[in-house]
Amino acid sequence: MKIYIKLLPPYIKKGKPDELKVQLQQHSVELQQLALYLSREWKGSLNYALVDDEKLANAEFMVNGKHVYPEYELSDGDRVTVLPYVGGG
């Protein structure tokens, strides 16, 4: 299964590509699992992990332009955008 990932600041390190193509062996994967995988396998390209110490997602996700939850099941060819949580007032 091939997934395309767009990382927005602050997740991507300066000078690293902001779009990744990930080839997975599984035929089905949830976003939460993908976030764990990327945090582990792409550690050198990320400024921040996509999961916290409790292995919970610390980002918002869009798949093919629609907001989805970490439990969302990805399909071959999906385009995932990783959005940071924004706070302030």
Chain segment 33-72, per-residue pLDDT in tens: 999 998 888 888 888 888 888 988 888 999 999 999 989 9
pLDDT, greater one: 41 or 78: 78
Q: Can you tell me the distance from the alpha carbon of 12 to that of 47, in angstroms, rounded to the nearest whole number?
A: 5
CATH classification at residue 37:
3.10.20.30
**How confident is residue 80, by pLDDT bands cut at 50, 70 and 90?**
very high
Tell me, yes or no, whether 89 lies in a domain.
Answer: no
Domain carrying residue 6: 2-84
38 exposed, middle or buried (CB, 10 Å; 0-12, 13-18, 19+)?
buried
Tell me, yes or no, whether 51 lies in a domain.
Answer: yes
The domain tally of the chain equals: 1
Tell me, yes or no, whether 41 lies in a domain.
Answer: yes
Q: What is the pTM of this model?
A: 0.86
